[in-house]
Every structure is written in C-alpha cells, then in structure tokens.
Chain A
Amino acid sequence: MEELANINWGLIAPLLVVQAILMIVALIDLARIHATNGPKWLWALIILFISLFGPVVYFIAGRKTT
C-alpha cells in the first residue's frame, strides 16, 4: 500500500480520467442504441474490460447504422 501512496497521482490522473470518459461515453451510447452488430452484453464486457481499445473497437465495429 505504501508504494501506491508514493506514486504521483496528479500526473497519472488525467490519463485515467480520459480513459474513464471514453468508457462512460461508449456505455451510454450502448445503452441508447437500438441494435448492435452482435449481442449487446458482449459489447458491454468488451468496453468494460479492455481498456482504451474496447470502447474504440465498439465505436468502429459495434454500432449498427442503418
């Protein structure tokens, strides 16, 4: 736990915040969209557990635009 406290969180915080925003935007979009390519729950897992590239892949391949 001491090591965790020693990290300069002020430096890393923006990175974590931006990634969190990306994830939240993707999740909100997933909740509002009527259909996706493939099952929705799978996309939810991808967005939640693959950091950075999960949301990006969802936005490129997951949204169904018709």
Chain B
Amino acid sequence: MNNFLTLFTKEFREAWRSLKFVWMPLLFIVLGIMDPLTNYFMEDILGAVGNLPEGFMLTMPELHPIDILSASTSQFQSIGLVVLVATMASAISRERQNGMATLLYVRPISFTALFMSKWAVASLLGIISGVAGYAGSLYYTVLLYGSVEAGAFIKMLGTYCLWILLVMAVTLACSAMFNTAVAMTFAILLLPVGLMIDSIIGSFWSLSPWKLSAYGLQFISGKTSEYYTETLFLTVILIIAAVLLGILYAKRNAATAKI
C-alpha cells in the first residue's frame, strides 16, 4: 500500500507538472459547450456562412436536452477519447524506452502497485475531464433547452466514469504490452475506432462495452435499457481482465527496459 502511495504521488506529480490536469479538462469543457451553442445558433450560422439562396426555408427540429447531451457525448467519445488515449498510451512504454524504468525496476517495487498507480492517475484525469465536460454541457443545456433530472444525470455520469475506467485500463494494458507507437495505434483502434464500428454495425448485437455510454444516456429520457445491467457487468469483467493483463505484461516486459 505504501508502495502504491509513493508511486501514485510520483505519477500524479508528473501529470501535474506536464499540465495534463489543466489542459485536458479545458479541452473537454470546450467540446462539451460547443454542441449546445452551435445547435442554438444554427440558424444564424447557416444564414451567415451557408450561402443559402434568397427565400430558402428551413425548419429546425426542436431539440430536447437528451439530444444535446448525446451530441456532447459523441464529441467526448470521438475527439476527447482519441486525445485521452494518445496522451496515456505512452505511460508505461515511454519509461521503458527512455531509461527511467531502470531507476524504478532496480527497487523492490511490485508491478501491481506500479500498474495500479498509473491506472489510478490516468482514470482520475479522465474522470475529472469527463465530469468537467459534462458540467459545461449540462450548464448550457439547462440554460438553453430545458432542465434535466438530477438523479438521471448522475446515473449517466457514473456510467460514463466506468467507461473511462475501462478505456484507461485497456490503454495502459496496451502500453505495458507494446512500445509507444504500437500501443497508441492498438488502443485507438480498439477504443474510438471500435466505437465507430459498433455504431455502424452494432445493431446486430446488444451486449458490448462500447454501448455502455449510449445505455447510460437513456437514463436522461427516463428509460432504463434492458441490457444495462449485463453491459455493466461485462464492462467490469473486461476492466479486471485488462488490469490483470497489464500487470502481467508490465512484469514480463520489464527486461526490455533500456539501460
């Protein structure tokens, strides 16, 4: 435990000094407030830059809070996720490559504590960013489109946090297994691209971790998906599997650290 706390402090300090805890939440806030605003000003935007012919009529759909929140979610799930994964994919592999790992590995540390400390900091970063982004999105949604039930919103946010835990576990497991470039490619293929594929052909199955945030969003409209509990369990199992895999490979690849 003591081991973990020391490593956690080190990881946190490193993330803090490289300003990750500043710019990542700011990025998510911008992504979150962009959608409510562009949808609200859509008519003006089209009028100003759309080059629409004179007398062109356009009926705007009436948007509800859930439409805006799901638009923001899809921003987080595409741009936000790519940035998050790209930043964290080097967490373990970079230490092996630049020789920092040798300083660590000569000490009697447990690889469990090493992996867990990195996972904890990465998840903290992801969750803080996600919550900040959703807070920004919610603020404008309530201001411009109508209120959202607090309980439903918290449930949705909790579901999203679990998804972030999975994202970070998978990203760090990739980082433990491969070198930085391969890990980044693999994690991006697995997470944001996986989400895209799931949204294209995902109607053939209903149980997949990529659907978790979509099921979480349904709380806002007052429904609970029948597959929600199963998906939740599946995600927890996948998190545990990814963490175990990550610890195993962090240990196995320790010998490849550059001296």
Contact = CB atoms under 8 A, between A and B. Distances in A.
Interface in A9-50: 11-12, 14-15, 18-19, 21-22, 25-26, 29
Contacts of B23: 22, 25-26, 55-56, 59
Contacts of A1: none
Contacts of B20: 59
Interface string B3-42: 0000000000000001110110011011001100100100
Contacts of A15: 30, 33-34, 37
B83 interface: yes
B98 interface: yes
Contacts of B44: 7
Q: Report, as a range, how many residues of chain B touch the other chain.
A: 20 to 34
Q: Is the interface of A mostly helix, strand, loop or mixed?
A: helix
A63 B30 CA distance: 22
Contacts of B86: 60
Interface of A: 7, 11-12, 14-15, 18-19, 21-22, 25-26, 29, 52, 55-56, 59-60, 63, 65-66
Interface of B: 18-20, 22-23, 26-27, 29-30, 33-34, 37, 40, 44, 83, 86-87, 94, 98, 136, 140, 143-144
Contacts of A65: 18, 94, 98
B19 A25 contact: yes
B34 A56 contact: no
A60 B87 contact: yes
B46 to A, nearest CB: 14
Contacts of B98: 65-66
Contact of B27 (A7, A22, A29, A66): A22
Given A25-B23, A59-B23, A11 B29 contact: no
Contacts of B37: 11-12, 15
Given A11-B143, A22-B26, A59-B20, 7 more contacts: A14-B136, A18-B29, A25-B19, A52-B30, A56-B27, A60-B86, A65-B98
Contact of A18 (B18, B26, B87, B144): B26
B18 A63 contact: yes
A60 B83 contact: yes
A19 B33 CA distance: 11
A63 B33 CA distance: 27
Contacts of A52: 27, 30
B139 to A, nearest CB: 8
Contacts of A56: 23, 27, 83
B87 to A, nearest CB: 6
Nearest to B26: A22
A21 B87 CA distance: 20
A55 B23 CA distance: 8
